[in-house]
Amino acid sequence: MFGGSKIKLDKDLLEKVKKYAGMAGYSSPEEFVQHVIEREIAKFEEGGDNEDEIKKRMQGLGYIS
């Protein structure tokens, strides 16, 4: 699914992914994660923000330092 790449999640987050993926009707945790990532990327693409604005938003959300 991830082109041979592996993404590591901490144990607690992985358990939440598994729980909510099943509750939401996804066929697998991987499908759920892919959908969430695609949705978040679409927000950036639709917003038309430049790279600096995206970096500031990501920092504000705690994704990058």
pLDDT digits (tens, 9 = 90+) for 9-22: 999 999 999 999 99
Predicted pLDDT of residue 3: 63
Measure Cα distances from 16 to 19, 32, 40, 49, 60 in Å: 5, 11, 18, 31, 23
Average pLDDT over residues 38-63: 79
Each domain of the chain, given as residue ranges in start order, spans 11-60
Do 21 and 28 meet the contact criterion of CB atoms below 8 Å apart? yes
* pLDDT(32) > 70: yes
| pTM, 2 dp | 0.64
Query: Read out DSSP for 31-65?
Result: HHHHHHHHHHHHHHHHHT--HHHHHHHHHHTTS--
* pLDDT(49) > 70: no
